[in-house]
Amino acid sequence: MAKANELLKLDNQLCFQLYSASRLMTKLYQPLLKPLDLTYPQYLVMLVLWEEQMGHKFTVTNLGQRLKLDSGTLTPLLKRLESKHLIKRQRSSEDERQVWIRLAPLGDSLKSQAKRVPEKLLCETGIKEQDLNTTRELLKSLFDKADF
């Protein structure tokens, strides 16, 4: 059937556009994150932490819900951030199952440098902020609409 063949073509699949756009985006961020010594997923974790005041505590589960990542990904990533002295990991004494994650002073001070990253990205890629917002909204609504 012609229809199924068309659907099967790589370029016609949203999945592939998303997949390659996402990886491209990571590559675009890389040179901007290198001075901060952060990988892209590490940067995302820091973004979440930076949204709150310095003393704010997150559990690993909190971060996971926000970023849609599980402990299998987060635990080693957070250990790497800790070894760079950007965050502190501390097992909760109230509930020994939980581990509190919070900004360390070095991680907090990194925020001012990070603030320049989004505008630099727009600038360097020549992406119009309007186009970017449109795409972002469309993606968000598409995935909010579907029930998963």
Contacting positions for a second copy (CB under 8 A): 1, 4-5, 7-10, 12-26, 28-29, 40, 44, 47-48, 50-51, 66-68, 111, 114-119, 125-127, 131-136, 138-140, 142-143, 145-148
CB of 117 vs a second copy, minimal distance in Å: 8
CB of 76 vs a second copy, minimal distance in Å: 17
| Residue 120, binding choice from a second copy, DNA, none, Cβ under 5 to 8 Å by partner class | none
Give me Rg for the CA atoms of the chain: 19
Q: In terms of C-beta distances under 8 Å and separation of at least 24 residues, what long-range contacts does 32-37 make, across chains too?
A: 32/117, 32/120, 32/121, 32/124, 33/117, 35/113, 36/110, 36/113, 36/114, 36/117, 37/84
The answer to whether 100 and 92 have CB atoms below 8 angstroms apart is yes
CB of 86 vs a second copy, minimal distance in Å: 16
